[in-house]
Structure 1
Amino acid sequence: MSSPKARHPVDEYRPLHRMLLFGLQHVLVMAATPISSVFLVSATLDLSTGITVNLLSAAFVLSGLGSVLQSLGPWKVGARLPFVMLPGGAPVVLFMAIAQQHGLRTATGAVIITGVFYLLVLPVFSRLIRFFPALVIGTMIIIVGVNLVKVGALLVTGAPGTPGFGDPGDLLLGLATIGFTVAFYWLFTGVLRQLAVMLGLVAGALLAFFMGTADFAGATEGGLVHVPQALPFGVPEFSLLASLPLLLYSLASMAEATGQTVINGEAVGKDVDARRDAPKTIRGDAVVSFAGGFFGLPLMVTSGENIGIVRVTDVRSRFVTVAAGVLLVLIGFFAPITALINAVPSAVVGGTAMVVFGVIVVLGVQMIGRADLDDHTTTFICAVAVALGLLPILVPGAYATFPPNARILLESGVAVGAFTAAVLNILFNHVRPALGRRFGRRAPAPAAAPAAEDGVPPVPPQASARSRAEGTRDAPNP
């Protein structure tokens, strides 16, 4: 009798207590992002404490529901991979810019419009995915990873030019958290080793407590339950012109979601077809973003942090991120937990984030390595795309003098790198060969086979041509 087909690790159930532990690890690593995003919006737009608490609660609940949706993937909404969703990054900045220029009601309307735009453009975008091979996606993942490492590092050091930048105590906490994570990963085996990231973060938080830089007393203040309220800013207003920045960004976001789907599949060892599976991830982003707009949130996107956790811990079950999603929903309703997580110093979170984000960079390098870097053309495409993609990340404000609409895309290193790699890949690997076949010289007729000498048979013309091709593989194309 034939044995039943083995279940892939991404579809395996784990004991409930282990899934909760591993899910908590995902939550602890990524929880700082929705908290910092909401506080940034609140401080920039001068929101009241009540609205801030409401937005924070909604951010956790929607992040949790989005994580469950992406991980379970019902009705082709979600890729059925271990994904976690959250607000953060460029969508938050664009949301604030629209709110400052046109008001908060228009900003929430722009998020809702963009959620619909995702679904309308997706059929066209899915036909273009074939122009995003491993070279393009790997380049994009490297740029994403470097940008995330920088974000984590800034949590440790603070922004240059601000008070407290490079504070020795913060640096000590960040480096100690990294050291704790490495020590746990080196000392332990099995489940404890897989929890090294979470244990390192907890150890860093305890160190901060003993150093007097973390105060957890506020976690017991206030009520126990908070239910997020819809339409915190009133009925949304819809303006296509005001929504243009988010609509333009959504194109780059779809490309980034494609890369994250492929790299997530790589991390769990699952065969992922970008054209088939990436649209499922994008639909999940669209649905959750559409719902989040009614709760006053920026666009919700899949998170790169948890992919690094999957790779470090080798816990590949998507039901772990389902557990993380459930925990996030509970956090959103249970006010003291939110306050407790918010009390962890940013330097500790940053130290953990740097380890996880560094793994993202390595995954991108591995993907590019399969794109045949021995070929000079591939190396050239990768070099140009990485250089242009890292420019706005390494030199903030490089495009400050450009028109606002141009800056929307130029200041997104991920968008610039992905666009550059895709265009160069099309030019060198699609257009140039087609032009060569159409206008190139006709191949010379094969030479006659040489006579055998000393009993050694002659090399067939086909083999000789193949040998010449392999011997000149690294040479530039004529």
Structure 2
Amino acid sequence: MKKIVDVEDKLPIGITIPLSFQHLFAMVGATILVPILTGMSPAIALFCSGVGTLLYIICTKAKLPAYIGSSFAFIAPMLVASKNYGSQAMLSGVIAAGCVYIIVSIIIKLCGINWLNKALPPVVVGSIVIVIGLGLASTAINWAGFNPNFTTDQLKNVPRWSWMTVSIITLAVGVLGSMYFKGFLGIIPILIAIIVGYISAIVLGVLPEQTFHSIITTKLFKLPPFMTPKFNINAMMLMAPISFVTLAEHVGHIYVTNNVVGRDFTKDPGLHRSILGDGVATIFAGFAGGPPNTTYGENIGVMAITKVYSVWVIGGAAIIAIILSFMGPISSLIENMPMPVIGGVSILLFGIIASSGFRIFVEDKIDFSKNRNLILASVIIVIGIGGASLKFNLGGSPVEISGVALATIIGIILNLILPKNSASELEDSKSI
């Protein structure tokens, strides 16, 4: 085998399969966590990620190695949409988000990418990412059992100390694994943390015996619970704006992949094709009953470490994900994951999401001595986390925009209308 396996290279099946499993393990922890956090089926998320990746490969003419998985950016609006309008209505929001991708891909094809960079500069993207992470912080604390005022039916039947112990074990393994694991294990610390947390939940009696028995006795072959969408303008308005956050993330991933592989994928096959593939995958997920999709940085990390860039390896991971989604025991094992395990992992993952926003500030050297940057970040974060909501009627139907969606819209508007420098800053520059 060559030291570097290029994008179009095919490897023997005996080598391709373990390399594909490596990509699967790198993404599966995050991909299944999104549906678990939002009350969806992990099996359908696996199925949609696999099919979505194959659709992406087709849209990019098999010239861009990227894996498509569940998007964390949509967790908060998905929870709100499901609670207020129902799961089927939420799926219409998923489809709307995918449609935004396709519209943007057409605009980029016709006009280039400069307009997107102007609408979403780093200070806006970083602030929105912080909102996404911090907006979910209390949820993670509740699930981990650290909020004494929070209770669920599961927690009523389990001592809180054992619940918290499972959360702490899960979190500790995730933290230590991220710091000290090397090689292949260093790519999957979250998956290892989930496995260790699951085992500790069984040992400490957090997982009911009947639940464990149902996992063992589940049929080997089981169809994922497909669900059809139901049109709802509120859910669509709530979720569609989040696409601009994941679009910025998508563009960033493509530039990182350019550096890793040593090619300019924005020219061939073109950024518009990559965004189109992401949109088609997300629309498919909405019609099948799955969560919105996005490109995964975890899999870019796998390519950077292994120097295996073959799109055939990525496609193999997608096929394996589809197969696993039909295996009953695996689906049941995932669906019955104890809440403290999810809570322990979520403390780390949600914190990492928020920290990624601060990382954007640092890497792009955002100058907060400038009033413009300070105002943009301040308004976006407070509106996104403070519970602000905007309600109005559209065609006779009540529409509500809140949370990350409202913060994103206001952030884009402020960024477009605020001058580069405040009056006082201009005055100071003249005096100098």
Common fold, TM-score beyond 0.5? Answer: yes
1:338 CA drift (Å): 0.7
For 1:136, the equivalent position in structure 2 comes to 124
* Corresponding position: 1:350 with 2:343: yes
> Matched residue of 1:337: which SS?
helix
Give, in whole Å, the separation in 1 of the partners of 2:317 and 2:355: 24
Q: What whole-Å deviation, never above 9, does each CA across 1:155-184 have from its counterpart, x for those lacking one? A: 323888542589333332222222123333
1:121 CA drift (Å): 6.3
Asked whether the equivalents of residues 171 and 347 of structure 1 are also in contact (C-alpha less than 8 Å), the reply is yes
For 2:382, the equivalent position in structure 1 comes to 391
Give, in whole Å, the separation in 2 of the partners of 1:253 and 1:287: 16
Which amino acid in the other structure matches residue 222 of structure 1? T
Aligned with residue 294 of structure 2, among 280, 288, 302:
302
1:22 CA drift (Å): 4.4
For 1:84, the equivalent position in structure 2 comes to 69
User: In the superposition, relative to structure 1, how do residues 288 and 224 fare at CA in structure 2: closer, same or farther (>3 Å)?
Assistant: same
Give, in whole Å, the separation in 2 of the partners of 1:334 and 1:108: 24
Of structures 1 and 2, the larger Rg is shown by 1
Asked whether the equivalents of residues 84 and 321 of structure 1 are also in contact (C-alpha less than 8 Å), the reply is no
Which amino acid in the other structure matches residue 408 of structure 1? E
For 1:365, the equivalent position in structure 2 comes to 358
* Corresponding position: 1:119 with 2:115: no
What value does the CA root-mean-square deviation take over the aligned residues?
4.6
> Matched residue of 1:90: which SS?
helix
For 1:463, the equivalent position in structure 2 comes to none
Give, in whole Å, the separation in 2 of the partners of 1:324 and 1:228: 18
For 1:450, the equivalent position in structure 2 comes to none
* Corresponding position: 1:419 with 2:399: no
For 1:221, the equivalent position in structure 2 comes to 217
Q: What is the 5 A alignment of 1:79-478? A: 80-85=65-70, 88-91=75-78, 93-94=80-81, 97-99=84-86, 119-120=102-103, 123-124=106-107, 128-131=115-118, 132-157=120-145, 161-163=149-151, 167-214=160-207, 215-228=211-224, 243-249=232-238, 251-265=240-254, 269=259, 279-280=272-273, 282-295=275-288, 297=289, 300-302=292-294, 306-307=296-297, 322=315, 324-374=317-367, 376-377=369-370, 380-391=371-382, 394-396=385-387, 398-399=388-389, 402-403=391-392, 408-409=400-401, 411-413=402-404, 415-429=405-419
**TM-score between both structures, scaled by the size of structure 2:** 0.72
Give, in whole Å, the separation in 2 of the partners of 1:476 and 1:160: 54
Give, in whole Å, the separation in 2 of the partners of 1:254 and 1:148: 18
Asked whether the equivalents of residues 59 and 277 of structure 2 are also in contact (C-alpha less than 8 Å), the reply is no
Asked whether the equivalents of residues 78 and 90 of structure 2 are also in contact (C-alpha less than 8 Å), the reply is no
For 1:63, the equivalent position in structure 2 comes to 49
User: In the superposition, relative to structure 1, how do residues 27 and 477 fare at CA in structure 2: closer, same or farther (>3 Å)?
Assistant: farther
Asked whether the equivalents of residues 92 and 299 of structure 1 are also in contact (C-alpha less than 8 Å), the reply is no
Give, in whole Å, the separation in 1 of the partners of 2:427 and 2:363: 16
Give, in whole Å, the separation in 2 of the partners of 1:339 and 1:15: 28
> Matched residue of 1:354: which SS?
helix
Asked whether the equivalents of residues 134 and 371 of structure 1 are also in contact (C-alpha less than 8 Å), the reply is yes
**TM-score between both structures, scaled by the size of structure 1:** 0.66
User: In the superposition, relative to structure 1, how do residues 9 and 473 fare at CA in structure 2: closer, same or farther (>3 Å)?
Assistant: farther
User: In the superposition, relative to structure 1, how do residues 142 and 321 fare at CA in structure 2: closer, same or farther (>3 Å)?
Assistant: farther
1:218 CA drift (Å): 1.8
Asked whether the equivalents of residues 174 and 192 of structure 2 are also in contact (C-alpha less than 8 Å), the reply is yes
Give, in whole Å, the separation in 1 of the partners of 2:419 and 2:265: 23
> Matched residue of 1:426: which SS?
helix
1:212 CA drift (Å): 1.4
1:207 CA drift (Å): 1.5
1:118 CA drift (Å): 5.2
Q: Unpaired runs of 5+ in structure 1?
A: 40-54, 437-471
Asked whether the equivalents of residues 44 and 290 of structure 2 are also in contact (C-alpha less than 8 Å), the reply is no
Asked whether the equivalents of residues 78 and 280 of structure 1 are also in contact (C-alpha less than 8 Å), the reply is no
Q: What whole-Å deviation, never above 9, does each CA across 1:355-403 have from its counterpart, x for those lacking one? A: 23433333332322244433633xx34443343333355444x438x54
For 1:29, the equivalent position in structure 2 comes to 30
> Matched residue of 1:408: which SS?
strand
Give, in whole Å, the separation in 2 of the partners of 1:75 and 1:130: 22
Give, in whole Å, the separation in 2 of the partners of 1:323 and 1:28: 18
1:255 CA drift (Å): 0.5
User: In the superposition, relative to structure 1, how do residues 264 and 294 fare at CA in structure 2: closer, same or farther (>3 Å)?
Assistant: closer
Asked whether the equivalents of residues 311 and 359 of structure 1 are also in contact (C-alpha less than 8 Å), the reply is no
Which amino acid in the other structure matches residue 130 of structure 1? N
1:38 CA drift (Å): 4.2
Asked whether the equivalents of residues 389 and 400 of structure 2 are also in contact (C-alpha less than 8 Å), the reply is no
Which amino acid in the other structure matches residue 135 of structure 1? V
User: More relative contact order in 1 or in 2 (CA 8 Å, sep 6+)?
Assistant: 2
Which amino acid in the other structure matches residue 64 of structure 1? G
For 1:43, the equivalent position in structure 2 comes to none
